[in-house]
């Protein structure tokens, strides 16, 4: 008599556990996707913040130039089209310091 009651309850418990695992896995994946979206949003906000800070410092430095100049003297702003960029070397190059004689 007891086995007739325990077997259906055990089967129901196993089915409930299986559906519970599926639910947990789907909620975990949903959480991962939302975290990924938040990370993307965070990087976008950080880049926007950096650009705004750069713009702010540029405006402040230009404002300092206009305030600090005298009436007789004027500052010349450089032409941005003639700016030369120099690439950095990716490491140190060997320096030849030998005492070889030229023949």
Tell me, what's the pLDDT at 64? 65
What lies within 8 Å, CB to CB, of 75 at 6+ separation is 65, 69
- CA–CA gap between residue 54 and residue 60 (Å, rounded): 10
Show the low-confidence residues of the chain (pLDDT under 50). none
DSSP 3-state percent helix, strand, coil across the chain (nearest 5): 70, 0, 30
Tell me, what's the pLDDT at 4? 82
Q: Where are the domains of the chain?
A: 15-56
* Model confidence, pTM: 0.47
């Amino acid at each position: 008599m007891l086995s007739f009651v325990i077997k259906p309850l055990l089967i129901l418990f196993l089915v409930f556990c299986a559906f519970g695992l599926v639910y947990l896995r789907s909620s975990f994946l949903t959480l991962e996707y939302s975290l990924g979206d938040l990370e993307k949003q965070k990087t976008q906000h950080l880049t926007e913040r950096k650009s705004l800070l750069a713009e702010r410092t540029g405006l402040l430095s230009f404002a300092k130039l206009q305030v600090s100049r005298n009436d007789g003297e004027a500052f010349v702003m450089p032409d941005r089209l003639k700016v030369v960029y120099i690439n950095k070397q990716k490491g140190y190059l060997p320096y030849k310091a030998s005492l070889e004689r030229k023949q």
